[in-house]
Amino acid sequence: MNRGGLLVVGEVVTDVVVRHGAAPAHGTDTPARITTTPGGSGANVACWAARSGCADVRLLARAGADSAAWHREALVRAGVRPLLPVDGTAATGTVVALVDASAERTFLTDSGAVLRLAPEDWSPALLRGAARLHLSGYLLFGPVSRRTASIALREARRRGVAVSVDPASAGFLSGMGAGPFLDLVEGVDLLLPNADEAVELTGLPDPADAAAKLSRHVAKVAVTLGDRGVVLAAGGTVTARLPAVPVPAPVDSTGAGDAFTGAFLAALLAGADEVAAAEAGCRAGAEAVATVGARPA
């Protein structure tokens, strides 16, 4: 039984998923299959949490006037309550996901309205009925959205609401620096990096060692390892290692980490322990890899 709602503070973006076989040929054409879908790490997490049984999922994110209605409708269909301030100046963020024959994705990102989520878009009333606040780390990479995320984090702590954070991008973390990021998230209940992000945050080459180190900075850590599963850590120690669910024919890894996070958080809210929640997350991640796009089919 669900023990409370989930408030996600993050982003919506428009994903352009480009699946190509051969590497793109410079200066000429390369055959590809191209799909445009709603995306955004925060929005994806919200949709997977709703798909995984969380009955009260809300998303706060800023969208451009160009596609706000489309994104709002997609979220409603997925069972998410959208709270989308509309930006009259910047377009909705866009991500081009280049997906190779192994289903690995590489992103080209135009943040657009994402990093313009402003303190006036936030209200403490958004936390009513929420048992957990989940922050997309993308918001920490811009000064305006970083202030908004920090305000939300402080208010959640003041109210005793659990907080989880997804670091979001090893590339953007490299530009920001590990120290400033860790200062912002110090003491949160749960950090959910992938292997590259965990290594970037700690400088340790082994993601398990990185998970253990990060869990001395925050309460608990779940490091996703793609087709190698997930490592859980708490109190400076690795507490569990779980295998990935095999995917016979992976299609697109875009959003697999978001699927893990959404299902993981939904299971925690339903009363599962971290191991059972991680098992649910791995199942959702496998489902995501078998479909095109970052949302539940």
CB neighbours of residue 65 within 10 Å: 14
Predicted confidence at residue 86, as pLDDT, reads 97
Provide, rounded to the nearest whole percent, the portion of the chain with pLDDT above 70.
99
Query: For 36-88, how does the pLDDT look when each residue is reduced to its tens digit (9 = 90+)?
Result: 999 999 999 999 999 999 999 999 999 999 999 999 999 999 999 999 999 99
Neighbours of 23 (CB within 10 A): 10
Q: d(Cα 140, Cα 162) in Å, to the nearest integer?
A: 18
Domains of the chain: 5-12+40-93+112-289 (3.40.1190.20)
Q: How confident is the model at residue 2, as a pLDDT?
A: 54
Contact 289, 226 (CB under 8 A): no
- State the pLDDT at residue 105: 82
Burial class (CB in 10 A: 0-12, 13-18, 19+), 147: middle
Query: Sorting pLDDT into bands at 50, 70 and 90, what band is 164?
Result: very high
Stated pTM of the model: 0.95
- Distance (Å, whole) CA 265 – CA 157: 17
- pLDDT, tens digit (0-9, with 9 covering 90-100), for 74-133: 999 999 999 999 999 999 999 998 989 888 888 899 999 999 999 999 999 999 999 999
Q: Which residues pair with 63 in a beta bridge?
A: 86
The answer to whether residues 190 and 162 touch, using CB atoms and an 8 Å cutoff, is yes
Q: Kindly report, residue by residue over 2-14, the tens digit of the pLDDT.
A: 578 999 999 999 9
Cα 266 from Cα 221, distance rounded (Å): 16
Asked if residue 142 lies in contact with residue 184, where contact means CB atoms within 8 angstroms, the answer is: no
Task: Give CA–CA dist 48/155, Å, rounded.
Answer: 25
What's the pLDDT tens digit per position in 171-220?
888 889 999 999 999 989 999 999 999 999 999 999 999 999 999 999 99
Does residue 258 register a pLDDT over 60? Answer: yes
* Confidence tier at 1 by pLDDT (50, 70, 90): very low
